[in-house]
A and B are shown apart, each in its own frame.
Chain A
Amino acid sequence: MPHHRVRWRPSVGYGIKLHVWGDRACFTRPEMKVERVSYDVMTPSAARGILDAILWKPQMRWIVERIHVLRPIRFQSLRRNEVGDKASSALTERAMQTGSTAGLGLVVEEKRQQRAATLLTNVAYVIEARFELTDKAGRDDTPAKYLSMFNRRAASGQCFHRPCLGTREFPADFALLTEDAPLPASTLPAEHRDRDLGWMLHDIMGPGRVSQFFRARLTGGVLDVRACLAEGTVT
């Protein structure tokens, strides 16, 4: 499952909490990705992507432990013009053999697809995560080094690239929560705090890019990734 063999580290002590929010989000369900439909909540893989956008090195790997859902889960539909077609490789091959590009064209206007996306609106989460060192870590790479690097960046709003909520048109705002800071107030209605969210993508892993799924449950408004993973996964 991991990219690199993991050096064992105690999991306590290197955790971080990041508050993220935005107007819209689309954590696309892989089974409905033509006309995109978002999962109800942020996936661990999307949460990892946000952390990666702030700090990632080959020497480390983020492990998302908990995702707190802070706002009501609401959807909105949005249809856009997209380019849908892939040009056929057979045509390309033929064109290359004949040395002529005639008939190879992919005209954007002709390949238009109007696709609806079912998005989440007005979302906010707290990501609780820790990181592990991979076997690419050298002797100078201590967890404390990366922890302080991450904390410094997140606290001052720095990022390698702008993190997003599923897709790049939905940028994420973020703020670091220090260890003793209280969690932001949640407006998630009481009746939605305990829900079975069904099978959800955990992450896409390893050199083979294998999708791993887990049974996601909200318990008291929290998606406890570790507890859900313990129930078993499928790939």
Chain B
Amino acid sequence: MTSETAGVTRRHEFVLFFDVQNGNPNGDPDAGNLPRLDPETSQGLVSDVALKRKIRNYVALARPDAPGHEIYMRDGATLNLEHRRAWAAVMPEAKPEDQKKLPKEAKARELTRWMCANFWDIRTFGAVMTTGVNAGQVRGPVQLAFARSVEPVLPLEIAITRLAATTESDAETKGGRTMGRKHIVPYGLYRAHGFVSAPLASHPVKGTGFSDDDLALLFEALGQMFDHDRSAARGEMATRKLVIFRHATALGNAPAHTLFDRVQTLRVHKGEAHEIGADATDNWPPARSFSDYRVTVDREGLPAGVEVIEP
């Protein structure tokens, strides 16, 4: 258990650009694992939970034994076991039947505080801990929205063969060969928006204690998480740019959407750059690398109390 650290006291928003080359950034279970698509615009999607999974995996990998950096929702995690540890630490005398109900407010806070102090992802994203053994509910300061590709993507289906069969009957009927499918996006640049609500980190009652160090680790994870998530399905994925807006105060100094509007993506071809969807780009070949795009950040006349950080 770590000593209690002060929570983040300044609001942040961030824009994350990542790209995929010949891979499937996030399969859609409803569409036979095809890359997720917005059916109205054909823009590619990556769900918030997919990104959070990668952040958790990165933190588990990068801080394996650091106190207070355990990952609650880990692969193969034992949720109720962790609740039980919280109970054991805070109320070792509690009987099992007492633990089915939410204890008195102060005790519940003690339980959740213990969970927050030990688990990085609970401190960050929050968690519903009302399973069986009741340890309350925490709302984390960090909130991620769906990532969306800046232009429509066209998923391709690639048929592949395997020179071995799984079952004996397959081996006989198919001559030992089986075929499979892979779905890839040839290239896609995705943009995700994130929010860090400082009061949910630093508020005396509702705060999870998500600290400036935790925030730095979050941004580190956003920068490197794809480097440790290599697989046959993903192709080449990489974080291309992270733009952070840091407010001077907990409640913020400007509307989030006006800050996000300052980050623009342009299509680039042979030295020309145009807004995405501009008529001039009609005959351009499809984007196939990050050099076909340019990301700009308008720093002119930033609202007072807002600073832009590009790590």
Contacts and interface: CB of A to CB of B under 8 A. Distances in A.
Contact of A164 (B96, B143, B249): B143
Contacts of A89: 96, 100, 132-133
B214 interface: no
Contact of B144 (A79, A81, A116, A169): A169
Contacts of B10: none
A106 interface: yes
A159 B74 contact: no
Interface in B119-166: 131-133, 139, 141, 143-146, 148
Contacts of B48: 169
Contacts of B77: 106-108
A109 B75 contact: yes
B107 interface: no
Nearest to B306: A157
A95 B81 CA distance: 10
Interface in B56-107: 73-81, 84, 96-97, 99-100
Interface in A93-124: 93, 95-97, 101, 104-109, 114, 116, 121
Contact of B80 (A104, A114, A121, A174): A104
- Most A CB atoms within 10 A — which of B75, B148, B200, B256? B256
A95 B251 contact: no
B133 A92 contact: yes
Interface in B197-241: 197, 199-200
B258 interface: yes
Contact of A162 (B30, B36, B81, B197): B197
B76 A86 contact: no
A77 B36 CA distance: 11
A87 B131 contact: yes
Nearest to A110: B76
A57 to B, nearest CB: 13
A173 interface: yes
B292 interface: no
Interface in B271-288: none
B78 A105 contact: yes
B254 A157 contact: yes
B301 interface: no
B255 interface: yes
A194 interface: no
Interface in A25-43: none
B257 A161 contact: no
Interface residues of A, number: 46
Q: How large is the interface on B (under 10, 10 to 19, 20 to 34, 35 or more residues)?
A: 35 or more
Contact of B256 (A83, A88, A106, A157): A157
Given A87-B79, A92-B132, A108-B74, A162 B143 contact: yes
A97 B99 CA distance: 13
Given A88-B132, A92-B84, A171-B193, A158 B252 contact: yes
A106 B78 contact: yes
- Most A CB atoms within 10 A — which of B36, B99, B133, B255? B255
B19 to A, nearest CB: 20
Contacts of B97: 93
B110 interface: no
B81 A104 contact: yes
Contacts of A158: 249, 251-253
B32 to A, nearest CB: 11
A66 interface: no
26 contacts: A76-B39, A78-B36, A80-B29, A80-B47, A81-B29, A92-B80, A92-B96, A92-B99, A92-B132, A96-B84, A96-B96, A97-B96, A106-B80, A106-B81, A106-B131, A107-B76, A107-B77, A157-B258, A158-B253, A160-B251, A161-B197, A162-B197, A168-B139, A169-B143, A171-B256, A175-B255
Given A88-B132, A106-B131, 17 more contacts: A76-B40, A77-B30, A79-B29, A89-B96, A101-B81, A104-B84, A106-B81, A109-B76, A114-B29, A156-B252, A157-B257, A158-B253, A159-B251, A161-B141, A162-B197, A162-B256, A169-B48
Interface of B: 28-30, 36, 38-40, 47-49, 73-81, 84, 96-97, 99-100, 131-133, 139, 141, 143-146, 148, 193, 195, 197, 199-200, 249, 251-258
